[in-house]
Amino acid sequence: MKENIYQSIFNTYAKRIQSGKIPPGTKLPSENELMSSYSTSRETVRKALNLLVQHGFIQKIRGKGSYVLDIGRMNFPVTGLTSFKEMSGKIGRSTRTLVQRTVCTGASPSIADCLQIEPGEPVWEVIRVREIEGERIILDKDYFRPDKVVLLTEELAAGSIYEYLEQTLNLVISYAKKEISVEEATDEDRALLDLNGLTHVVLVRNFVFLEDTTLFQYTESRHRLDKFQFVDFARRIP
């Protein structure tokens, strides 16, 4: 029975938000109000609200409540490999890249696992904050194998690394595996991004392969939840 109630709460508010009946910025009823309206437990209400968070419909702000997000925000393609510079040219908004770190360092166990190398092996680490219309809303953390990417500089990182890889190093970037999740913001996110009280970010993990199927890049791209929606085009194959 509880599952039916939390799904009903989720479906009701998801449809109202999608239809525009509940506009962006609207504060949802409190947990106590929802408990009373649906004659259910706090656990069930929280389960429904968390589902709305996971689907990008609302954001919980500590001490304030749950607020509706703008689902008409900038589209970011799930399929395809698009650099930030390429995306910037399409969205028609002022952008800036702030390079935080460009260094060749020993791979941590987690990064080594992602790149399928041994811990401590050298990797290029590039950390960049992406600013759109004066707000820092994307944190990109890139890791490249130096046997494929011989040199990276802060100047290159401030521009388009993909442009450098393809036009200068003549690498053929072929495809990527992407993993997308909504996760709680870290201390680093809060320090480097303008989260404006938001507690979660959209995390896109990219595993990028060359034409010869070599995995040469791993990226964690951390997006402010209220600024992006991830889109795809799907065709039914009978």
- Token readout for 69 is 């997000």
As a whole number of angstroms, the distance between CA 132 and CA 187 comes to: 21
What helix, strand, coil percent values describe the chain, rounded to 5?
A: 30, 35, 35
Confidence of residue 71 (pLDDT cuts 50, 70, 90): low
Task: Identify the CA nearest to 142 among candidates 227, 220, 86.
Answer: 220
pTM: 0.66
Q: What is the DSSP string of 19-78?
A: HTSS-TTPBPPPHHHHHHHHT--HHHHHHHHHHHHHTTSEEEETTTEEEE--TTSEEEES
β-pair partners for 122: 106
Tokens of 194: 């303008």
pLDDT digits (tens, 9 = 90+) for 120-177: 999 999 999 999 888 999 999 999 999 999 999 999 999 889 999 999 999 999 889 9
Residue among 56, 86, 198, 55 nearest 137 (CA): 198
What DSSP string describes 13-31?
A: HHHHHHHTSS-TTPBPPPH
- For the chain, list the domains and their CATH numbers: 2-68 (1.10.10.10), 74-231 (3.40.1410.10)
Whole-angstrom Cα distance, residue 211 to residue 203? 26
